[in-house]
A and B are shown apart, each in its own frame.
Chain A
Amino acid sequence: MAKKWNLIVDVERCDNCRGCYIAVKDEHAGNDFPGYAAAQPAHGHHWLDIRRKERGRYPLVEARFQPVMCNHCDDAPCIKAARDDAVQKREDGIVIIDPVKAQGQKQIVDACPYGAVSWNEEKQLPQHWIFDAHLLDAGWDKVRAEQACPTKVFRTLQLEDRDMQRLATEEGLEVERPELGTRPRVYYKNLHLMTHCFVGGTVVHLIGGTEECAPGVTIVLRQAGREVGRAITDAFGEFKIDRLPPRSGRYDLEGTSPAGRRVATVFELGSESPYLGVLTLS
């Protein structure tokens, strides 16, 4: 079996420095790569983009970032939508929108469920991130996004499909919207940081009438009586329990301090990560 290209993107490692984003613009703005891609407009295109997600509420909040780009799907809707074989799947897994044949074919843009194909108004051309195929073909061993990334978000891997699947299972990798059946070649690590919620709070207690942070409190999260998460408060009395599906209903939360003091609350999980505020042990 032939080795094919895959990209692994670790959401936890991304801090939105935008090195990858600028590198993709640098590679394509003003440069025609015949057979691969026509030049990108100087402004307005985001072939590789970064999604921003804030989780939580002031003062317990996280900022998360997810680089997104063409997924180079093995079952790519854009290939089906294209006329004249204008979009092709290469043997190494990379999808290329032919910069000549695809001219005028705006339906290729509309066909992508990920919104990863841009429309070049001036050239009347659908365009996408080409997995740096022109560079890999010339001997590069990684995409420019990886080369420019200071925090090691990306891994460019050339593997047989079965080895990639094994790796995906081992590392708990996910793809964007697997339910579409498009079989992307871009995999994500720690994608729950974009897709799931945490619940957080601050536990305090009164000592001699003075409010103090309560460290070491065991927090247990239950849903319908079943434990679904557990945490221990830190020196500031703060806790976080992660990986809760959004809009997943009602939860019971109970905290127990080493001295046996307790606090309990109930919340309904919506689409955002809730901060339960200050919880006072009684």
Chain B
Amino acid sequence: MNLSVLLWGIPQAMRTISKLYPEYASRLQERDLIAQFKLRDVPEGRWIELTGGKIRSRAGLHASPDITIHFKNREIAESFLTPPFDLLERIDAAKNFKIGLDGPDDLAVWFMQTLTRLETVTWKRGTDIGNGVTRYTNGTNSGPIFVYVKDGKIIRTTPIDFDESDAPPWSITARGKTFTPSRRTTVATHGLCLKSMVYSKNRILHPMKRVDFDPDGERNVENRGKSQFVRISWNEALDLVSKEIKRAKAIGPGAICVANGSHHQWGNLGHYLSAFNRFWNLIGVTKLVHTPDSWEGWFWGAMHHWGNSLRLGCPEFYGTVEDCLKEAEMIVFWSSDPDATYGFDGTERRDWAKQLGIKMVHIDPYLNHTAAHLGGKWISPKPGTDAAMAQALCYVWITENLYDKKFIAERTTGFDEWKAYILGENDGISKTPEWQEKETGVPARDVRALAREWGAKKTYLGAGGWGVGLGGAGRSPMGAQWARMMTILGAMQGYGRPGSNFGNLQFGAPLDFNFYFPGYGDGGFSGELMGSANSANNYQRMPHIVTMSSVRQAIPRMWFPEAITQGKAMGYLTDVSSIQGQFFPFGYPSPGHVRVEMLYKYGSSSLGTQVGSNRWIKAYQHESLKFVVNQSVWWEGETRFADVILPACTVFERWDIGEWYNVGAGYVHHMYSMNNHRVIALQHKVIEPLGESKSDYDIFLAISEKLDMGSLYSEGGTSEYDWCKRVFDSSDLFKKISWREFLKKGYFVVPPDPESARAPTANRWFYEGRKKDTPEPYPLPSDYVAGLGKGLQTPSGKFEFIATTLKRIDDPDRPPLNQYIPVYEDGNREPELAEFPLQLLSPHSRYPFHLMGDDEGSSVRDIREHRILKDGRYYLVARINRKDAEARGIHDDDLIRLWNNRGSVVCAAQITDRLRPGVVSASTASAEYRPVGEPGKSTDLGGCINTLNSSKAIARKTHGIRPNTTLIQIEKWAGVDSWQPRAETA
């Protein structure tokens, strides 16, 4: 189209749209400016003047425009401005300087967004269901929901019931019965409580500054966590933060550290892997390297026996729902509580297994939620000793010929050495059921009975929360030993054989694994190619500008406090591309970089989720940390340890888009196979941000504008709404549903594959010695020894009973032969622990998802199995065995203090027989931290259980936490606090 016509059309369109859409008309009143379009090579163009919402425009050049959009030549301008727009071409024009923007950054961004709104303002969203109610959709950390809105207020949120037009579900016929999943989404409490969280009294609604913080005078950093806050304007807050960013950048590379939690509100755009990473890549910062949180034992241990590094050491899961229902005779849940950890689609499938008479065994010191619901045999080993029990199972299998000899001969290495160890041929200790009884407390007869059942029946091993890894015993000091034993048990029973595999029906539903929609691990619009899976698909499919930080410094997250207080910290990379990727040490400070002086904390989870969390308080009050920003939605335990607080809004107050449990190739590839359906949801902005809160994106954009980087950050004024459309267009969605229909309906159910085209069963190819046929691009081609798709990722290409890769690192805590090493905290071995006789389990909470849902305004707080209301305060529940409680005169709902040398926390007692005697269980992670006295040096009433846990690593040459099996004492809380922290000894 001719350029002069195109340019003439812009103000015409603005006039027309502002007449039709009052929303657009009022936007035009926000700024007065003169914007000019021009060519660089010849003096041609057009200007548009906005005054009080009125539009004036002329062809030609203006003498003093506020902003100028310039094109290299006519051809480029015409191509750029002619609809439909080609995104790839537009990005190309921007990043190769074919177009440019001059003028104040905030005006430029505003004007570009105003042009984009010409189209987006016409889009209709949500479904009118009468009586002034509109039904929208959104996404939660547990699944997509409907959101009912009236008069600008959320009135309810519900799981989604599918309608007739949605894809029909799959069916599985097993042993004469046909099972078809319910046509709906199932959502856990932390996804159902969000209305109460949006309207929580605990929302941060305005920017705040610590009263005794003066950036130009006394900063009083030792008062962090103690002082009050005053409200400041956004302009003051943005000025302060942007000045501090400039000040820190001038000190040297890495002076700014940014720290996010492991999770975020749902969605691909607002996620920290997207909006946050994009911003900080433009600034250049020291990042925290997360441990493979919750995968500890699998990542640092199991991986060495079978590879699967890109699954963090966990096995694949395709087709296992069908295989398990058709073939398995028993499921062993080992430290496996899927009903607690994630949603409930798997619960429906486990009910089918129960209907089929598949036997269930649960191994866990706690009769967990899944075990209580399903029933079956409960075995409760002393926490931290499970590996001994697993070795005794091997002993029975070996001595009674109950293992898969053919598989071991053809697909594994090192079995003879393993067998010799189990039989005690070298160390003189046979790993008999009686031997393990002394360690685990599990009767030898039960181990023999289980070994015989397992050896005779086709068995699925559900190891960890997902059945294919995660959580539980893997997060204890013996987590690596335990996860390694799980792989060994699987190998001895020939995993991949029909009915013999890994899983607990939580993963492996027969869905379409080829339909592309990105998960948050694919990086959103971050442009980050290394720290996410962006480069795998997203970067090609959704053209956007690459971002890359020039700062190489990093801090291991679990030792951030030591980095600040001691000036150094050393960790190991979470590099999943190969097995040996985890052997690379990294240190802080890094060469040529400077010490951290500024912390930008995103969310407030550290005191709730980080082990030994009183350490964090020391770091926050350390003199070297000159400036702390906290950007959060709610006041949480950590929030007040800041100097400036920026109020973010919830996902209901901004736009986003995401698929149910699709975390992308960057984390758990095809994680959505946990669900019975693939459901992709638009996450409508359903209400305006509360108070002065803003979306994370808009906060970063506002800071960017102060730093003259707003146009770069937003790619020329792209809003979150526009990014949703770009994600939609980048996926396979547009082939199935139009954008306008998707905007209205809000979700799409991806049809499952027909039975004839379902993904093959996991590990079957390996069991049968065939080329890999499951739909995961793992391991990397360079990691196959025998040829592409042939064998495992290990050096031998086989399952290795004796791990070759562990021979290459020499970590005394991870010997190549997985011998039993008692490593749990033990008062008999460590005298200073003798006064702490009880073992503490601190599992993921059942009701909140980490902190999400535990907010002080959340309806989840009223759940009696989560918190107990006492004297006006909600205390976290600690579960205690009945006998341990009786010995201390403790009754149900009594306030009790849990303490050791590291921490002291008041909880409400729940007396139970579901725990092994000697074991206490209290969930992480509390959103509240409420010290009765000095922060970090007194008892906490909020429930930060992680203050009790050790910050030691799971093994010497690793960077992984080990919270479970912590030793504590408990007593009735009398309300008087005399507790003092004592230094942790080696």
* B468 close to chain A: CB less than 8 A: no
Which one of A16, A31, A42, A63 lies within 8 Å of B914 (CB-CB)? A63
Give the most central of B187, B188, B359, B859: most A CB within 10 Å: B859
Contacts of B957 in A (CB 8 A): none
How big is the A interface, by class? Answer: 35 or more
Interchain CB contact under 8 A, B189 and A17: yes
Interchain CB contact under 8 A, B857 and A42: yes
Interchain CB contact under 8 A, A147 and B158: yes
Q: How far is the CA of A27 from the CA of B345 in the complex (A)?
A: 23
* B186 close to chain A: CB less than 8 A: yes
Task: Report if A204-B193 is in contact (Cβ < 8 Å); known contacts: A61-B367, A150-B343.
Answer: no
* B20 close to chain A: CB less than 8 A: no
Nearest CB to that of A55 among chain B residues? B913
* A85 close to chain B: CB less than 8 A: no
Separation in Å of the A51 CB from the closest CB of chain B? 10
Contact mask for chain B residues 901-925; partner A; CB cutoff 8 A; 1 contact, 0 none: 0000000000011111100000000
Interchain CB contact under 8 A, A31 and B372: no
Contacts of B159 in A (CB 8 A): 147-148
Which one of A15, A30, A144, A234 lies within 8 Å of B377 (CB-CB)? A234
Chain B, 158-214, CB within 8 A of any chain A CB = 158-159, 161, 182, 186-189, 192-193, 195-196, 199, 201
Interchain CB contact under 8 A, B865 and A29: no
Interchain CB contact under 8 A, A58 and B881: yes
* B862 close to chain A: CB less than 8 A: yes
Give the most central of A62, A212, A235: most B CB within 10 Å: A235
* A122 close to chain B: CB less than 8 A: no
Q: How far is the CA of A210 from the CA of B913 in the complex (A)?
A: 28
Task: Report if A17-B860 is in contact (Cβ < 8 Å); known contacts: A58-B916, A236-B377.
Answer: no
Contacts of B562 in A (CB 8 A): none
Contacts of A44 in B (CB 8 A): 862, 869
Interchain CB contact under 8 A, B192 and A204: no
* Interface stretch of the complex, out of A18-26, A71-79, A95-103: A18-26
Interchain CB contact under 8 A, B377 and A148: no
Which one of B344, B865, B915 lies within 8 Å of A150 (CB-CB)? B344
* B413 close to chain A: CB less than 8 A: no
* A162 close to chain B: CB less than 8 A: no
* A59 close to chain B: CB less than 8 A: yes
Q: How far is the CA of A58 from the CA of B915 in the complex (A)?
A: 7
* A126 close to chain B: CB less than 8 A: no
Chain B, 611-654, CB within 8 A of any chain A CB = none
Task: Report if A61-B914 is in contact (Cβ < 8 Å); known contacts: A26-B157, A150-B347, A237-B449.
Answer: yes
Task: Report if A212-B862 is in contact (Cβ < 8 Å); known contacts: A30-B195, A31-B156, A57-B913.
Answer: no
Contacts of A121 in B (CB 8 A): none
Q: How far is the CA of A113 from the CA of B948 in the complex (A)?
A: 44
Interchain CB contact under 8 A, A58 and B449: no
Interchain CB contact under 8 A, B448 and A212: yes
* B847 close to chain A: CB less than 8 A: yes
Separation in Å of the B678 CB from the closest CB of chain A? 18
Interchain CB contact under 8 A, A61 and B913: yes
Interchain CB contact under 8 A, A213 and B195: no
Nearest CB to that of A29 among chain B residues? B196
Interchain CB contact under 8 A, A43 and B862: yes
Chain B, 362-406, CB within 8 A of any chain A CB = 367, 369, 372-373, 375, 377-378, 380
Q: How far is the CA of A52 from the CA of B351 in the complex (A)?
A: 21
Which one of B161, B378, B445, B916 lies within 8 Å of A212 (CB-CB)? B445
* A201 close to chain B: CB less than 8 A: no
In this complex, how many residues of chain B approach chain A with their Cβ under 8 Å: the count is 63
Q: How far is the CA of A33 from the CA of B738 in the complex (A)?
A: 37
Task: Report if A22-B158 is in contact (Cβ < 8 Å); known contacts: A52-B864, A212-B449.
Answer: no
* B102 close to chain A: CB less than 8 A: no
Q: How far is the CA of A60 from the CA of B379 in the complex (A)?
A: 10
Contacts of B359 in A (CB 8 A): 235
Task: Report if A26-B193 is in contact (Cβ < 8 Å); known contacts: A15-B372, A44-B862.
Answer: yes
Nearest CB to that of A64 among chain B residues? B372
* B821 close to chain A: CB less than 8 A: no
Nearest CB to that of B380 among chain A residues? A59
Q: How far is the CA of A45 from the CA of B344 in the complex (A)?
A: 26
Nearest CB to that of A273 among chain B residues? B913
* A56 close to chain B: CB less than 8 A: yes
Separation in Å of the A62 CB from the closest CB of chain B? 7
Separation in Å of the A207 CB from the closest CB of chain B? 10
Chain A, 116-158, CB within 8 A of any chain B CB = 138, 144, 147-148, 150-152
* B251 close to chain A: CB less than 8 A: no
Contacts of A30 in B (CB 8 A): 153, 155, 195, 199
Which one of A15, A25, A56, A238 lies within 8 Å of B862 (CB-CB)? A25
Interchain CB contact under 8 A, B913 and A52: no
Nearest CB to that of B344 among chain A residues? A150
Q: How far is the CA of A234 from the CA of B917 in the complex (A)?
A: 24
Contacts of A213 in B (CB 8 A): 445-446, 448-449
Q: How far is the CA of A137 from the CA of B372 in the complex (A)?
A: 37
Chain B, 859-883, CB within 8 A of any chain A CB = 859-865, 869, 881-883
Nearest CB to that of A278 among chain B residues? B443
Task: Report if A18-B914 is in contact (Cβ < 8 Å); known contacts: A26-B192, A26-B859, A213-B446.
Answer: no
Interchain CB contact under 8 A, B881 and A211: no
* A54 close to chain B: CB less than 8 A: yes
Contacts of A23 in B (CB 8 A): 158, 192
* A46 close to chain B: CB less than 8 A: yes
Contacts of A238 in B (CB 8 A): 377
Contacts of B446 in A (CB 8 A): 213, 236
Task: Report if A211-B862 is in contact (Cβ < 8 Å); known contacts: A42-B857, A58-B882, A61-B367.
Answer: no
Task: Report if A148-B859 is in contact (Cβ < 8 Å); known contacts: A54-B912, A62-B372.
Answer: no
Contact mask for chain B residues 658-669; partner A; CB cutoff 8 A; 1 contact, 0 none: 000000000000
* B296 close to chain A: CB less than 8 A: no
Task: Report if A26-B195 is in contact (Cβ < 8 Å); known contacts: A44-B869, A52-B865, A151-B344.
Answer: yes
Interchain CB contact under 8 A, A151 and B351: yes
* B61 close to chain A: CB less than 8 A: no
Interchain CB contact under 8 A, B158 and A148: yes
Separation in Å of the B309 CB from the closest CB of chain A? 33
Q: How far is the CA of A21 from the CA of B450 in the complex (A)?
A: 38
Separation in Å of the B352 CB from the closest CB of chain A? 12
Q: How far is the CA of A26 from the CA of B193 in the complex (A)?
A: 7
Chain A, 183-223, CB within 8 A of any chain B CB = 204, 210-213, 215
Which one of A18, A46, A54, A63 lies within 8 Å of B189 (CB-CB)? A18
Q: How far is the CA of A118 from the CA of B913 in the complex (A)?
A: 31
Contacts of A42 in B (CB 8 A): 196, 201, 857, 859
Separation in Å of the B113 CB from the closest CB of chain A? 33
Separation in Å of the B332 CB from the closest CB of chain A? 12
Separation in Å of the B862 CB from the closest CB of chain A? 6
Contacts of A29 in B (CB 8 A): 195-196, 859
* B339 close to chain A: CB less than 8 A: yes
Interchain CB contact under 8 A, A151 and B196: no
Contacts of B444 in A (CB 8 A): 210-211
Give the most central of A18, A31, A54, A62: most B CB within 10 Å: A18
Interchain CB contact under 8 A, A54 and B343: no
What are 22 inter-chain pairs, A to B, with CB distance below 8 A?
A15-B347, A16-B865, A17-B339, A18-B189, A18-B847, A19-B188, A19-B189, A21-B189, A29-B196, A31-B156, A43-B869, A52-B865, A54-B912, A61-B913, A138-B131, A147-B161, A150-B186, A210-B445, A211-B445, A212-B445, A215-B449, A235-B449
Q: Which 8 A-B pairs have the closest CB atoms?
A: A150-B344, A15-B373, A150-B186, A63-B372, A25-B859, A213-B449, A58-B913, A61-B913
> Which A residues fall within an 8 A CB radius of B?
15-19, 21-23, 25-27, 29-31, 42-46, 50, 52, 54, 56-63, 138, 144, 147-148, 150-152, 204, 210-213, 215, 234-238
Besides the known contacts A30-B155, A42-B201, 16 further A-B residue pairs in the complex with CB atoms under 8 A apart: A15-B372, A17-B189, A17-B344, A18-B860, A19-B186, A22-B189, A25-B196, A31-B156, A52-B864, A58-B380, A58-B883, A62-B375, A147-B158, A147-B159, A148-B187, A235-B449
